[in-house]
A = this chain, B = another copy of it.
Amino acid sequence: MVVKVYGPDYGSPKRVLVCLIEKGVKFETAGIDLFKGEHRAPDYLKLQPFGSVPVVQDGDYTLFESRAIIRYYAEKYKHQGTDLLGKTIEERGLVEQWLEVEAQNYHPPIYDLVLKIVFGPLMGDTPDPKLIKESEDKLSKVLDVYEERLSKSKYLAGDFVSLADLSHLPFTQYLVGKVGKEYLIRDRKHVSSWWDDISSRPSWKKVVELWPGLY
C-alpha cells in the first residue's frame, strides 16, 4: 500500500515528506490548494476535521498532524532507513523535548513571519513592521538558546540527527528564502553550521526540488 500525503506544496506536509524519504517509505502526493479553499471541502474535512494540512492515508489508516505522522513512521520503520528517534529511551526523550521546543517555541514566531511576509501579501494584506519586529525578536531569543545548545552537540537531541532537527527544515527554508531573514541563521556560528548540515541532506534537497511551493 502506498502512503498518500495531502498538501505537499506547503510547509507542514514537507515535514512528512522529508521523513518518509529518510525512512525509505514509498509515497504519493495529493495537491490541496489552500488559496482555493480546498482544505474546507466536505470530503477533505472528513479526513482532517480542522481543515489543515497534512493528512496521510495509508490503506484504512488515516493520520493528521505532521509531528504525529513523522513519529508514527519513524517508529513503524524503526529499523529501515535513517534512525530518527535515537537509540535509547533517554535519547528518544531528548528527541521529544527538542521536537516540542520546535513546535512550542520555534514554530510560532517563524510561522507568523511566513504568514505576514509570504502568504499575507498574496491575499492582499500589507505586512505590519511592528508585528514583524515582534516575531523576529521572539525568534532571535529562541535561536540564542539553539546557538548555546548546538555549541555542545552536533544536533539538537545529541550527536545524531533526529526528527527534532528535520522538523525545522520546512519553515527555516522560508526564513532564509522569501522571508528574507537569513541573517538570523548566519549571525550564529553553530546554528549556521547546523542549518548547512541538515538542509544539504539529499532527502531535503529532493523535497525542495520536487515541491518548491512558495520557496
Q: In the bound complex, do residue B67 and residue A100 qualify as a contact, i.e. CB atoms below 8 Å apart?
A: yes
Could you say which residues of chain B place their CB within 8 Å of the CB of A65? 96-97, 100-101, 104
Would you call A149 an interface residue if the criterion is a C-beta within 8 Å of the partner chain's C-beta atoms?
A: yes
Could you say which residues of chain B place their CB within 8 Å of the CB of A71? 93, 96
Interchain nearest-CB distance for A162 vs B (Å): 12
Interchain nearest-CB distance for A138 vs B (Å): 11
Could you say which residues of chain B place their CB within 8 Å of the CB of A90? 61
Could you say which residues of chain B place their CB within 8 Å of the CB of A104? 65, 103
Would you call A154 an interface residue if the criterion is a C-beta within 8 Å of the partner chain's C-beta atoms?
A: no
C-alpha spacing A94/B72, complex, angstroms: 9
| A interface bracket (residues with beta carbon within 8 Å of B) | 20 to 34
Interchain nearest-CB distance for A27 vs B (Å): 16
Interchain nearest-CB distance for A46 vs B (Å): 11
C-alpha spacing A49/B106, complex, angstroms: 13
Q: In the bound complex, do residue B96 and residue A50 qualify as a contact, i.e. CB atoms below 8 Å apart?
A: no
Please, what's the 1-or-0 string for A19-63, where 1 marks a CB less than 8 Å from any CB in chain B?
A: 000000000000000000000000000000110000000000101
Q: In the bound complex, do residue A99 and residue B68 qualify as a contact, i.e. CB atoms below 8 Å apart?
A: yes
Q: In the bound complex, do residue A89 and residue B76 qualify as a contact, i.e. CB atoms below 8 Å apart?
A: yes
Can you sample 7 A-B contacts with CB below 8 Å?
Answer: A50-B101, A63-B93, A68-B99, A71-B96, A72-B92, A72-B93, A75-B89
